[in-house]
């Protein structure tokens, strides 16, 4: 399988924060407080990862956690052994997520200024001609197809778990780090659900908390670009850090 991707990305501090704890990863390159646009060609059995991490912890701790998580998951993506079955890949990824979780916790305990730091993670990952969507926390993955937007990930928030919209949306029960407890990743293989013309959006809750699905859908139909999406959030006064990756499937050869 070969895939030609058009990618736009933007990670912005937002309207009120003094630092940006979000970070974006595109196969070895990290982005914060910047935007970019380019094409990427994923070769047959090639490795590719795009991810958004939304750090938590106050001061500089959140940005430390998000960068650490992206460094570790990027390193993992290039050293996955070849020819793993789907089940073996999932087991290896689950083990790696626990290791990253533990490393972030340990780092926070060594540096007390980063104690209890944590981060969410949402990633689009190709391995051995398979495409996976990985989610930990409340950053989101969407797909736009023929003008219809669909959320592919599940928010690991107390609001969603209890179906109680009086609970603040930023209270989450699953993240990397965060002071302890267990962690898990929702992992979906979406290989057979990806077609030419599809658009995938990975974003922090700085987008989804301030634009509803209908507004996101309209922005992607109109512009299909990360920066215009971030601009739409900022026009509404979005106070949180705002990060988005827009991945357009330009060509697929199977």
pTM of the predicted structure, to 2 decimals: 0.97
Confidence at residue 169, expressed as pLDDT on a 0 to 100 scale: 85
Average pLDDT of the chain, as a whole number? 96
- Residue-wise pLDDT tens digits, 170-191: 899 999 999 878 999 999 999 9
Please give the pLDDT value at position 170: 85
Residue 63: its pLDDT value, please?
Answer: 97
**Overall average pLDDT of the 39-50 stretch:** 97
Contact 194, 202 (CB under 8 A): no
d(CA 206, CA 22): 9
Q: All domains of the chain, ordered by start, with CATH? A: 2-253 (3.60.40.10)
């Amino acid at each position: 399988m070969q895939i030609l991707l058009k990618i736009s990305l933007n990670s912005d501090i937002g309207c009120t924060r003094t630092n940006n704890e979000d970070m974006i990863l595109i196969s070895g390159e990290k982005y914060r407080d910047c935007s970019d646009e380019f094409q990427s060609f994923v070769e047959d059995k090639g490795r590719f990862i795009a991810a958004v991490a939304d750090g938590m912890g106050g001061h500089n701790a959140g940005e430390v956690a998000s960068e650490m998580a992206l460094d570790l998951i990027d390193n993992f993506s290039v050293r996955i052994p070849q020819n793993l079955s789907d089940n073996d890949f999932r087991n290896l990824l689950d083990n790696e997520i626990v290791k990253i979780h533990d490393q972030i916790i340990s780092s926070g305990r060594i540096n007390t200024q980063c104690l209890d730091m944590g981060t969410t993670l949402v990633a689009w990952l190709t391995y051995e001609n398979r495409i996976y969507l990985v989610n930990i926390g409340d950053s989101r993955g969407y797909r736009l197809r023929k003008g219809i937007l669909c959320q592919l990930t599940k928010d690991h928030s107390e609001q969603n778990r209890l179906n109680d919209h009086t609970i603040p949306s930023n209270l989450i029960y699953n993240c990397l780090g965060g002071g302890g407890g267990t962690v898990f990743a929702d992992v979906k293989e979406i290989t057979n659900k990806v077609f030419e013309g599809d658009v995938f959006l990975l974003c922090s809750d700085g987008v989804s908390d301030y634009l509803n699905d209908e507004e996101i859908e309209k922005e992607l139909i109109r512009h299909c670009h990360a920066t215009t999406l971030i601009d739409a959030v900022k026009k509404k006064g979005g106070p949180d850090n705002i990060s988005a990756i827009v991945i357009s499937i330009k060509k697929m050869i199977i």
